A = this chain, B = another copy of it.
Amino acid sequence: MIGIFDSGIGGLTVVREVLDKLPQYRIVYFGDTARTPYGTKSPKTIIDYAVEDTEFLIAQGAKIVIVACNSASSTAFEVLRERFSLPLFEVIQPAVEKALRVTRKQRVGVIGTRATVGSGIYERLLKERRPEIQVFSQACPLLVPLVEEGWLKRSETKRIVRKYLFPIIQKQVDTLVLGCTHYPLLKPIIQAKMGKRVAVIDSSQEVALWVKDYLENHPEIAASLTPSEGGEGHRFFVSDLTPTFEQIAKQFLGRPIRLELA
């Protein structure tokens, strides 16, 4: 199975892309809804949680694991790679590569949780690859709760998005990285505020393309994955279950799913 985990249900945006691009494999998802969110917590705590999440997915039969959470990708990925031997993917590098491909003015904006922005990982990776690039980052800690409430089109959400994006817009970036798996659900609002000429990069799409490419080049790993017959057999685990989580999960995935308590 393809294992995917997130701090909560935001990682279902990655599931949606993986289902779209790799419909032939079964997915096992884990959303840590009992401890969500991660992005406001410390690196040490996020690392502890990410290790536990990965162990859970492996116990469920995952042969590869996607860290579908920018906060965990930015703070815990190195530790996961040392600790576990199976193929691991994270959501940051794919978005970085895409940003490098699309920016022309070499001015890139990054929005994310406080943990992700505080880690400075996007800026570091972008500058390692291209020292002359200018990166402007903005932590947007309220966007996760707004998305988890389903306030995707409310005027209050638009105002808060505008407030967060204002300093980045002033820097005249031509590319904006959505550095959080929740943000693709706000992409229409964000794109409208940034303007049509700014490329808005969704790491969910990029990581799914990376995994597809990896599996095409590693048939032995691809062969170890459980096939999905007719799009069936996926499992969605959460560490806590409420009616709200179920409702929002449906919104994220674009179809009803059955969440199971881990």
> Which residues of A come within 8 Å of B, CB atoms?
33-36, 40-42, 44-45, 114, 141-142, 145-146, 148-149, 151, 155-156, 159-160, 163, 239-242, 244
Grouping DSSP codes into helix (H, G, I), strand (E, B) and loop, the A interface class, with mixed when no group exceeds half, is loop
Tell which of B45, B155, B156, B242 touches A41, judged by Cβ atoms closer than 8 Å: B242
Measured between beta carbons, the chain B residues less than 8 angstroms from A163 are: 156
Indicate if the CB atoms of B244 and A114 lie closer than 8 Å. yes
Are A149 and B142 within 8 A (Cβ)? yes
Q: Are A40 and B242 in contact (CB under 8 A)?
A: yes
Taken together as a complex, chains A and B put the C-alpha atoms of A156 and B141 apart, in Å, by 14
User: Bound complex: CA of A145 vs CA of B45, how far in Å?
Assistant: 19
Partner of A34, one of B41, B142, B145, B244: B41
Q: Nearest Cβ distance between residue A189 and chain B, in whole angstroms? A: 14
Q: How far is the CA of A22 from the CA of B163 in the complex (A)?
A: 42
> Of all chain B residues, which has the CB nearest A48?
B34
Q: Which residues of B contact A146 (CB under 8 A)?
A: 142
Known: A40-B148, A42-B242. 13 other contacts (CB 8 A): A34-B41, A36-B40, A41-B242, A45-B240, A114-B242, A141-B149, A142-B142, A142-B145, A142-B151, A155-B159, A156-B156, A156-B159, A159-B159
Chain B residues in 8 Å Cβ range of A244:
40, 114
What would be 12 A-B contacts, judged by CB atoms less than 8 Å apart?
A34-B35, A36-B40, A42-B241, A114-B242, A141-B149, A142-B142, A142-B146, A142-B149, A145-B145, A156-B159, A156-B160, A156-B163
Closest chain B CB from A99 CB (angstroms): 27
Residue of B nearest to A45 (CB): B240
Query: Provided the pairs A142-B145, A156-B163, A159-B159 are in contact, do residues A45 and B34 lie with their beta carbons within 8 angstroms?
Result: yes
